[in-house]
Structure 1
Amino acid sequence: MTIMLFFEQNTLHILLEFVLVGIATWLYIQRRKAQAKLAREPKLTPEEEDALIAEWKPEPLTPETPDDHFALNPRIATGKMTKEVVMDGKTCLNLASTNFLGFIGNDRIESKAKQTIFKYGVGSCGPRGFYGTVDVHLDLEKDLAEFMECEESALYSYGFATIASAIPAYAKRGDIIFVDKACNFSIQKGVQASRSTIYWFDHNDMADLERLLEEQDQRDKKNPKKASKVRRFLVVEGLYANTGRICPLPKLLEFKWKYKVRVFIDESFSFGVLGKTGRGVIEHYGIEPIQVDLVMASLENAIASTGGFCAGRSFVVGHQRLSGLGYCFSASLPPLLATAANEALTMIKEDPGRVARLQNHSRALHAGLTRVLEGTPFRCREGEVLAPFRHVEVADVSLSKEEKERLLDAVVEKAFEEGILLARARYLDDNEAFPIEPSIRVSTQSELEEFELARALDVIERAAKSA
């Protein structure tokens, strides 16, 4: 009776032991079979081993690179990347950088940055939450929030990480993100890191986006219990770096309320560029900032510093201080760069005419490039007239990518010979979500004179015709 009671109380334990013994036995038998098979295999003589080793050709550590590849023949810039830059000892007019408001080399900004170095040194020595926060970081966050007319902002130390960290701070596995196919690489990495379900819609195609939203709405209605736990996000750029087009924000906000999605906008190329005072695409359309759930932007273009920020409601921004990986684990922005960014922001507020000059030059660049490329093998990629850059691409779509790149490189070289600095738009082709046509990104800035832009256009015309 005692034995029966023991077995009844320990049945599960005994069964588990039998299973473990069976697994151990099976592994032992498999090992013995592998040893026996190995023993039966013929062994090579020393001469045969030497012959195989002599025949072996290891794969190269890096792929074969042609001698004329641009990475093997870099140009050396000397001095500051202002509107004029010394490249390989030659002074060129700079139409290659994104220094849209001409703040690089500004004496007032440099003076403020030097004062900050004397007070705080050159680094912060820690992430924001671990001894890395300095009063200049808080000042810049406060001023950015006021400038963007938002409740609060969070400062990041690297522009790329701002966008790539902010998106996965909110979107998680099981959530849904609708993304424009032309979005930049940092957005692509952000949505990838979120592990959410991604739906790509055609560039600025609101009909395609609404189709995807409607399909998701129908799925939600079939399973309302699951839908109640799924969050939906819509991620776009204010001014697309890859096309120069502006997002149709009013229509996007219409979809936001109709289909209950959260709208995230990357203003990296529109901040300091669009709107009467440079507040970006939100000001460009005259929309209340509170309608956009999160504004993300780099400080490395128009502001000419380093880092980035996110702005929005306090509870939204506050969440990033605990969940944004780039905020939590990266050393904070060096204080001198925070001061430089804040001084540039102050100069925009003091002189909105700087933004107006940039927009005038953008219109002139748009019209001028369209005119000078007529009758050449090149054309301008469709873009907004207020964009301070235009993509010049090969008109003949039947050519191979290599042939297009050769033609574009020829234009860059010929322009350099005449003192105009241009640059190809570079991409990590194997990692991009969608293929991007090769192009030259021609940029302008507020400090250019009209005659300088006219001279640059003349040079581009001659280079395009002779390519």
Structure 2
Amino acid sequence: MRTGVWYLQEIILQLRSAPAYLLLLEAVLLVWLIKVLFFTKSYKPHRTKLTQKEKEDLVEEWTPEPLVPDTPADHPGLHPRSFEGKLGKIIRINGQDCINLASLNFLDMNGNEEIEAGAIKTLKKYGVGACGPRGFYGTIDIHLELEDKLSAFLGLEEVAQYSYGFSVLSTAIPAYAKSGDVIFCDEGACFAIQQGLRASRSKVWFFKHNDADDLERMMKLQDDIDQKNPQKALTLRRFLVVEGLYMNYGDICPLPKLIELKKRYKVRMFLDESLSFGVLGANGKGVTEYFGVPITDVDWIGASLENCMATTGGFCGGRAFVMNHQRLGGLGYAFSAALPSMLASSTITSLEQMQRSPDMFVTLARNATYMQQKLESIPGMTLKGLPISPIKHLSLEGSMETRKQEVCLLEEVVQEAESRGVAIVLARYLDDMEYILPKPSIRVAVSSGFSVEELSRAADVVATACATVLARHRGVEAN
């Protein structure tokens, strides 16, 4: 049996065999520990006892910080426009009828009698809302019918339907791309895409807007990085994110070249068709149909249904196993209340009308091209957007001293046009959150429901409003 003497002898033996420098270090640490524990005084803040008068003076002088920052008096949220009735091609604003060039009602579905009748019929059968997410007793048979019809229309294996258009991109991207992955993204991407990129926490390469050569340059740089660390490259996932028709520019992505780069550098492509679905292609199937590219060459397609189909929500589509992951990993799908059944019914009716009447896409392209010709000749203004695009941006030639001055001047144009019977809108951005803040512009949206005469009148009013405001501004500067 080992005694205390034996243990003491063992300790002495170990100390004798230990290096001298180690014994010295341990002795210094022991002395420092004893000093800290027993000889260092604990810090006690000096407290001054205040008189009642001093306390009252301090309370009187204290000014609390505001819960929210001060809002400028000219903030658009403080002066909302009031609409009456349906937001069709003619809308009533503050009691005045205006030609509607503000709403993204590209196919003139809003107010369609057949769609309204179908929605009312569905409302009577299912009620108003699903009252729960799709995975928690929120899936109704009409949701499944809508997904089947969308996937059959586009030629996709499966489609997952969302109840809110913005959440398609903002939550679908982080469902696949995670921290450590690499994303190549057009620097002109819309805000929903930017939010999805932030949520993914991936490394993002922003290439110049619609510049495939700059994209290839960045892909080569990433390829060089991968070759230096082949072990990490084996598990690295690479994604390419673009829009079919760009919200902030009105132009179309060079899809054939992008797919070529996608295959060469082994990346997965995410394509946002929020503006191109129901707009581009002979049947409105989007940018893939417009370029004649097989839709299966794109790994993931997403779109909002809030621009062309007079409804709300959106969808994403692709291979079946990709959509199965989306239903579990897409937070906007998994935790948002399902789309109201009457809106799902409206979407189905809109889709059926698109299939029955493909001539509406020809009319939309004709109206967009005509409006392009009318607006691009306005003196002092620059038009951005392709002729075939139903969304266009009208901005000032050159630049003013500050961005706020440009915004205020364009807002005057909007108000002047509204007073003359045409509704247009200033493109709004979250200035401090955009990756690249676009130049201030007036957004003009064209619908297939307009006649050439209505478009001509609306364009003339916009031109007159621009001339009136610019002349007024030059007069103020001269004085």
Match of residue 463 from structure 1: 465
SS across alignment from 1:160: helix
Q: Map 1:192-207 to 2 at 5 A.
A: 192-207=198-213
Match of residue 399 from structure 1: 401
Are 1:439 and 2:450 matched, yes or no? no
Q: Is the 8 Å Cα contact of residues 400 and 406 (structure 2) preserved in structure 1?
A: no
Match of residue 154 from structure 1: 160
Are 1:33 and 2:42 matched, yes or no? yes
Are 1:323 and 2:326 matched, yes or no? no
Match of residue 12 from structure 1: none
Paired AA for residue 120 in structure 2? K
- Measured in 1, the distance between the counterparts of 2:444 and 2:299 equals 32
Match of residue 111 from structure 1: 117
Match of residue 339 from structure 2: 333
Q: Which runs of 5+ in 1 are unaligned?
A: 9-18
Match of residue 180 from structure 1: 186
User: 374, 377, 380: which one pairs with 2:383?
Assistant: 380
Using structure 1 for the length normalisation, give the TM-score. 0.91
Match of residue 356 from structure 1: 362
How far the C-alpha of 1:46 sits from its partner, in A, is: 2.6
Match of residue 23 from structure 2: none
Deviates more, 1:195-204 or 1:53-62: 53-62
- Measured in 2, the distance between the counterparts of 1:444 and 1:392 equals 13
Paired AA for residue 55 in structure 2? E
User: 280, 288, 312: which one pairs with 1:282?
Assistant: 288
Deviates more, 1:268-277 or 1:425-434: 425-434
- Measured in 1, the distance between the counterparts of 2:299 and 2:386 equals 24
Residue 110 and residue 214 in structure 1: after superposition, are their counterparts in 2 closer, same or farther (change >3 A)? same
Residue 28 and residue 71 in structure 1: after superposition, are their counterparts in 2 closer, same or farther (change >3 A)? farther
Q: Is the 8 Å Cα contact of residues 276 and 286 (structure 2) preserved in structure 1?
A: yes
Match of residue 99 from structure 2: 93
SS across alignment from 1:155: strand
Match of residue 247 from structure 1: 253
Match of residue 343 from structure 1: 349
Match of residue 297 from structure 1: 303
Are 1:452 and 2:461 matched, yes or no? no
SS across alignment from 1:265: strand
Question: What whole-Å deviation, never above 9, does each CA across 1:215-269 have from its counterpart, x for those lacking one?
Answer: 0000111111100100000000000001111000011001111110001000000
Q: Is the 8 Å Cα contact of residues 429 and 437 (structure 2) preserved in structure 1?
A: no
Match of residue 424 from structure 1: 426
SS across alignment from 2:145: helix
Question: What whole-Å deviation, never above 9, does each CA across 1:340-395 have from its counterpart, x for those lacking one?
Answer: 01110000000001111111111111111102x1x22x2112x2211101111121
- Measured in 2, the distance between the counterparts of 1:449 and 1:29 equals 92
Paired AA for residue 384 in structure 1? L
Match of residue 213 from structure 1: 219
SS across alignment from 2:70: coil
Q: Map 1:118-137 to 2 at 5 A.
A: 118-137=124-143
- Percent identity between matched residues is 47
SS across alignment from 2:271: strand
Q: Which runs of 5+ in 2 are unaligned?
A: 11-28, 470-479
How far the C-alpha of 1:304 sits from its partner, in A, is: 1.7
Residue 449 and residue 3 in structure 1: after superposition, are their counterparts in 2 closer, same or farther (change >3 A)? farther
- Measured in 1, the distance between the counterparts of 2:137 and 2:205 equals 40
How far the C-alpha of 1:148 sits from its partner, in A, is: 0.9
Residue 3 and residue 147 in structure 1: after superposition, are their counterparts in 2 closer, same or farther (change >3 A)? farther
How far the C-alpha of 1:154 sits from its partner, in A, is: 0.6
Paired AA for residue 455 in structure 1? R
Are 1:367 and 2:367 matched, yes or no? no
- Measured in 1, the distance between the counterparts of 2:446 and 2:430 equals 24
Deviates more, 1:186-195 or 1:62-71: 62-71
Paired AA for residue 217 in structure 1? D
- Measured in 1, the distance between the counterparts of 2:324 and 2:259 equals 23
Paired AA for residue 351 in structure 2? L
SS across alignment from 1:33: coil
How far the C-alpha of 1:28 sits from its partner, in A, is: 11
